[in-house]
Every structure is written in structure tokens, then in C-alpha cells.
């Protein structure tokens, strides 16, 4: 048992580009999909009043991904702090690593002012759930 | 005079998301647009046989961007090595910085094998042009 | 039993726009996904040498679709002609129709000349499979 | 002088697909861009409280479009009714027609109920401006 959440999806034709591989911007979409699935799975579904915003991202690309490939996105909660969550991601195709990434998400209230995101402290229940996911032997999944 | 290349574009409605701001994956598209414009401007236009692939990216987000905002993307050549170019980007709206990023691009030949990208050494002319862009007082633009 | 092929998928956050609903261009992507799934299901998988191109599309939108909604795309082969397939689509959410559409796909060889698509006649086996799908009581699915 | 509004833009790399041409869903985005530019040009800028929604679309594709092509989108107001605007579009590259389309837009108030769009009658000033655009010799542009 581990704290890795795993999400599989097939590559759509429209996600490829003229180099006949997945455009690099779409890797971020795959990570967001996995994040949403993860949050749903631990009961932290987004509401119309709140949304997650990324503040920092780092990604290394190791291998191109093609149309109709099945991508496995493994998500790991690296840090569940009071004001942000830091995730780690590994994207692989047929057990070969295609990309590794990390990003930080903060929860913001909507609507917010143009002048900048108003970060919200998670309520205690959320922190507890996500902190549980930091541990290697958690029951997050 | 400087080695900054500058590219302006307006935010399209379809680039926003339900949080009413530009989706974070689109920042990478804006950077690629600036990179293409930059390469066109120095005469290094892509051909059907070659394409640029990103190998590493880091981005920090400071401020949301909205529909109809005019984004200025400033591009800087940080390193023009024999096998890759490292770019720095600053995205701003009305003189306020919205994001800062760096990424590395390698030139690959098409078609390539599924087993991995075949990086190509730039020919000497290209390196010369791009190395010129590394210098603060270059005539790159 | 019918000739309807059915495909379900959840709406991703990045597919919404600032009106907090799915952007209308994404409806076409959902249809293409269903088309690919359908063709895979009847054994007509795309190859690197061939691709499908749409020549005509008509779509009516009846209801907005939101983040996290589960869309059901129902696909029907209306015509399997020698040089094109005409599909009908119904998109619904929780049994309410969100959109209805039709489009025609032609198979083209790659690479093709810039001067225009070179349509290919389906081979006989393909026509037979797809003609089977035109009938209400076919075993297409 | 005519009632055609014209909008040019270059094709971005990420808008192509593995067939090395612009994905068909992106044609709708180009039309929306032209619509927004047109509405801005006649002073009918969208607000945070209102948005345009498409109710019906028809498009025919005549020629593939490639990376770095300059697309000209010609927009024409076909009908400016009390509750919707019907537009006609012609997309061309180097004076060859790539696609022709029509779609209808209705103005909706935000937020709206999930149960369906609440269409709004344009105020009189708007109708007047847009009706002017229906005429072949209007000064719309």
C-alpha cells in the first residue's frame, strides 16, 4: 500500500501536434485531470465558490507520447501545508517514464479581485485528510 | 538595446476556464508562440523535417490573466548550446508580471522513432545567430 | 440491440470557459473521441499512414455542460459510402440532450500534398463492417 | 465598402494535429476570435455579467490549413434579430477558401441556472448597430 494515486487515460487525436506527438502543454492537463480525480476520491470536490490555482510548476520530459497511447499518471502528495498542496507526478506509457513533474496548488475563493488571488487556509478536516496522504502507508488509496 | 524579444497578444475567450482566468496550461502556449516568432525573426524557421521539443520547464505564476487582457511575453536566450537552447520568459499584463518561466528546446528530426527523440546538433550558422542573442547588447532585436 | 455506439466521459476543468461551461469547440473533440472509440471497437484503427478528415459538420446546442458532468456521446453511422462516412451524434448529460450533430469523415493518406486532401476509397472489408453498422439491428455493438 | 469584417491571424504550432494540419475544432476558435474582434470594433464589448453562447453551427471544410499559415477570417452579420445574431464566416489562406461556416450567437446573463440559458433581448442601441452591419453598404467597417 502506498500514497500513490494512479490515473489512466488514452491520448486523444486532438492532443497531438504536427510533430505527431502530444503537445507539451497537454501534459499539464493530464496532471490536472489526475489531481481532480484524486481530490474527488478523497472527498474534496471543488465547489462553484472555490477553485485550485497553481503557483509553481516544474516538469522534465523524457519521451514523446503518441495518439492512442495509454498514459498512466501517478500522483503523490508531497506536502499538505496550511495554504497549499504540493504534488508530484510521474507520467508513463507502457511502464516507461515519459515525464516527471511537481506543482503547487492553492485554494482560492471565487469571485476574487483582479488584483491577485486570495488564498484560503484549508479547513482542518481537509488538512487532516491530505496529511494522511503524505504518509507512505496511508489509506488514501 | 537588449537581447529581449517581445511579443504581444490578446487573450482569447476559449483560453479562460471556469475560474474566469486563463488556464495555466495556456501559459506554455503563449511561450511557444513567442519562441516561434523569435525564431522566425532571426531566420530559423521550422521546416517540415524538423521540430523543436521541450525537455525541461519551470514556471511560477504570480497573477491571474483574464479574457481580453493583452499579454506581453518577453523572451531571452539564456543559453545557446550545441544541442539545446534555454529560454527565459516573463509574461506581463499592464506592466505587472503575471508569470516567469524557463524552458529548454532541442531540435529533432522528423520522423523519429518511438523509442526517443534524436537530438540534432545545430549547424554552425544557427549557433552563431543564437549565441549573438545571448549577449545583452546583441542586435537580435 | 441497435446501431448506436455509446461513449461516456467526464468533463475536465480545462474544457470550461469563463462562462463556467464547456466551450463550444470542445463538443467537436468529444465527438471525435467517440468516433475513435467506435472505429477501434469495429477494428478500423487509424494507422500512421492514414487519418480521418471532416468535410462538413452541423451542430445544435441545447443546454450548457459543466465541469465534472458526465457526458454520454451516442454515435450512429448514418451513411457508409465508398468515400466517406456520415455520423450522427447526440450528447447528453443525466439523460437530457445537450447537443445534436452530424459530420462527414473521409479517409486520407499521409503525407498528402498541400494542394488538397487525396481521398481514398475504403477497402471492401471496411465498407462491409460499416454498412453493417447502418442497420438498426446490426451487431456493431 | 461592404459589411465584411476581416481578421487575420497566424496558425500556432499547438493548433495542428498528428495529420500535420489544423485540428477541425480550432476553426471554431478562429471564428470566435473574429467575432470578439468584430464586437469590440463596433463597441459591443463583453462584460463580466454577460456572455455570448452559440446555439447552432454549420461548417464545410475545403482545404487543410498548416502551421504558420496566415488565416484570413471574413465575418458577415447575416441577421441581427432581437434575440440572436447570425454570422457567416469565410476562412481563407493565400486567397484560397479553406472553410465556410455560419453560426448563431445569443447573449446570456451570468450566472445562469443550470437548467438552461436565459436569453436576453439586446438593448435597442445594440440592435441598431448590428442591423447597420446587415447592409451591404454599411459603415461597420
Least confident of C62-71, D49-58, D60-69, D129-138: D129-138
Sheet containing strand C50-61, edge to edge, reads C4-10, C70-80, C85-93, C96-109, C50-61, D50-61, D96-109, D85-93, D70-80, D4-10
Distance from CA of B71 to the nearest CA of C (A): 17
In the prediction, which pLDDT does C141 show?
Answer: 44
Sorted by where each begins, the domain ranges of chain A are 4-133
C49, closest residue in chain D (CA to CA): D19
Nearest-by-Cβ selection for C61 from D25, D54, D59: D54
Q: Tell me: pLDDT of C98 over 50.
A: yes
Q: Tell me: pLDDT of A112 over 70.
A: no
Residues of chain C positioned with their CB less than 8 A from the CB of B17:
13-14, 16-18
Nearest-by-Cβ selection for B14 from C20, C25, C67: C25
Size of interface A-D (CB pairs under 8 A): 29
B14, closest residue in chain D (CA to CA): D29
Is A82:A106 a contact under the CB 8 Å cutoff?
A: no
Mean pLDDT of D43-52: 74
Q: Does domain D4-134 have CATH number 3.10.129.10?
A: yes
Nearest-by-Cβ selection for D28 from C28, C51, C116: C28
In the prediction, which pLDDT does C123 show?
Answer: 58
Q: Which of C17, C66, C67 to mutate against chain B (most B CBs within 10 Å)?
A: C17
Question: How far is residue A97 from each of residues A63, A67, D120, measured CA to CA in Å?
Answer: 7, 16, 51
Distance from CA of D74 to the nearest CA of C (A): 19
Distance from CA of A33 to the nearest CA of C (A): 7
In the prediction, which pLDDT does A63 show?
Answer: 94
Low-confidence ranges of chain B (pLDDT < 50): 1-2, 114-116, 139, 141
In the prediction, which pLDDT does D104 show?
Answer: 95
B116, closest residue in chain A (CA to CA): A63
Chain A adjacent subunits, 3+ CB pairs under 8 A: B, C, D
Q: Does domain A4-133 have CATH number 3.10.129.10?
A: yes
In the prediction, which pLDDT does D135 show?
Answer: 62
Check residues A32 and D138 and name the one with the higher pLDDT: A32
Strands (E), chain C: 4-10, 50-61, 70-80, 85-93, 96-109
> Across the interface, do C18 and B23 touch by the CB < 8 Å criterion?
no
Residues from D in contact with B at Cβ < 8 Å: 12-14, 20, 29, 32-33, 36, 40, 45-46, 48, 67-68
Query: Which residues, at least 6 apart from A3, have a Cβ–Cβ distance to it below 8 Å?
Result: A76, A77, A133, A134, A135, A136, A137, A138, A140, A141
Please return the burial class of D44, using the count of CB atoms within 10 Å of its CB with bins 0-12, 13-18 and 19+.
middle
Please return the burial class of A136, using the count of CB atoms within 10 Å of its CB with bins 0-12, 13-18 and 19+.
exposed
Mean pLDDT of C106-125: 61
Output phi, psi for A74, to 5 deg.
Answer: -100, 125
Q: Tell me: pLDDT of C113 over 80.
A: no
Distance from CA of B4 to the nearest CA of C (A): 31
Nearest-by-Cβ selection for C58 from D20, D25, D58: D58
Q: Name which of A33, A93, A87, A85 is nearest A61 in CA terms.
A: A93
Check residues A80 and D136 and name the one with the higher pLDDT: A80
CA–CA separation, A107 and A117 (whole Å) = 9
Question: How far is residue A12 from each of residues B40, B117, C30, C45, measured CA to CA in Å?
Answer: 30, 21, 10, 13
Helix (H) or strand (E) holding D132, with range, is helix D124-134
Residue D37 pLDDT class (50, 70, 90 cuts)? very high
Is B73:B109 a contact under the CB 8 Å cutoff?
A: no
- % of chain C surpassing 70 pLDDT: 75
Q: Tell me: pLDDT of D29 over 90.
A: yes
CA–CA separation, C4 and B102 (whole Å) = 48
In the prediction, which pLDDT does D125 show?
Answer: 59
In the prediction, which pLDDT does A27 show?
Answer: 98
Residue C1 pLDDT class (50, 70, 90 cuts)? very low
Residues of chain A positioned with their CB less than 8 A from the CB of B19:
51, 53, 108, 110
> Across the interface, do A25 and B20 touch by the CB < 8 Å criterion?
no
CA–CA separation, A126 and B83 (whole Å) = 46
> Across the interface, do A14 and D16 touch by the CB < 8 Å criterion?
no
Mean pLDDT of D77-96: 92
Query: Which residues, at least 6 apart from B36, have a Cβ–Cβ distance to it below 8 Å?
Result: B46, D12, D13, D68
Fold topology of B4-132: Thiol Ester Dehydrase; Chain A (3.10.129)
In the prediction, which pLDDT does A97 show?
Answer: 98
CA–CA separation, D71 and D74 (whole Å) = 10
D64, closest residue in chain C (CA to CA): C116
> Across the interface, do A17 and D14 touch by the CB < 8 Å criterion?
yes
Q: Tell me: pLDDT of D139 over 60.
A: no
Question: How far is residue D125 from each of residues A25, A61, D9, D108, measured CA to CA in Å?
Answer: 42, 53, 30, 17
In the prediction, which pLDDT does C138 show?
Answer: 52
Residues of chain B positioned with their CB less than 8 A from the CB of D71:
none
Mean pLDDT of C56-79: 96
Select the highest-mean-pLDDT range: B35-44, B105-114, C16-25, C36-45. C16-25
Distance from CA of D125 to the nearest CA of B (A): 23
Is A45:A36 a contact under the CB 8 Å cutoff?
A: no
3-state helix, strand, coil in chain A (%, to 5): 20, 40, 40
Q: Tell me: pLDDT of D112 over 50.
A: yes
- % of chain D surpassing 70 pLDDT: 75
Q: Tell me: pLDDT of D115 over 90.
A: no
Output phi, psi for A26, to 5 deg.
Answer: -75, -20
Residues of chain B positioned with their CB less than 8 A from the CB of A61:
53-57
Mean pLDDT of C8-13: 97
> Across the interface, do B60 and A60 touch by the CB < 8 Å criterion?
no
| pLDDT tens digits, one per residue of A32-78 | 999 999 988 887 776 667 788 999 999 999 999 999 999 999 999 99
Residues of chain D positioned with their CB less than 8 A from the CB of B36:
12-13, 68
> Across the interface, do D61 and C56 touch by the CB < 8 Å criterion?
yes
Residues of chain D positioned with their CB less than 8 A from the CB of C59:
56-58
CA–CA separation, D25 and C28 (whole Å) = 6
Amino acid at each position: 500500500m502506498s500514497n500513490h494515486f494512479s490515473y489512466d487515460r488514452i491520448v486523444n487525436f486532438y492532443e497531438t501536434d504536427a510533430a505527431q506527438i502530444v503537445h507539451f502543454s497537454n501534459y499539464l492537463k493530464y496532471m490536472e485531470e489526475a489531481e481532480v480525480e484524486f481530490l474527488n476520491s478523497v472527498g474534496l470536490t471543488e465547489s462553484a465558490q472555490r477553485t485550485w490555482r497553481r503557483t509553481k510548476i516544474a516538469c522534465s520530459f523524457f519521451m514523446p507520447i503518441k495518439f492512442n497511447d495509454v498514459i498512466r499518471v501517478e500522483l503523490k502528495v508531497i506536502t499538505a501545508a496550511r495554504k497549499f498542496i504540493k504534488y508530484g507526478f510521474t507520467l508513463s506509457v507502457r511502464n516507461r517514464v515519459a515525464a516527471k513533474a511537481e506543482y503547487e496548488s492553492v485554494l482560492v475563493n471565487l469571485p476574487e479581485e483582479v488584483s491577485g488571488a486570495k488564498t484560503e487556509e484549508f479547513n482542518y478536516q481537509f488538512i487532516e485528510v491530505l496529511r494522511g496522504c503524505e504518509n507512505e502507508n496511508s489509506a488514501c488509496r
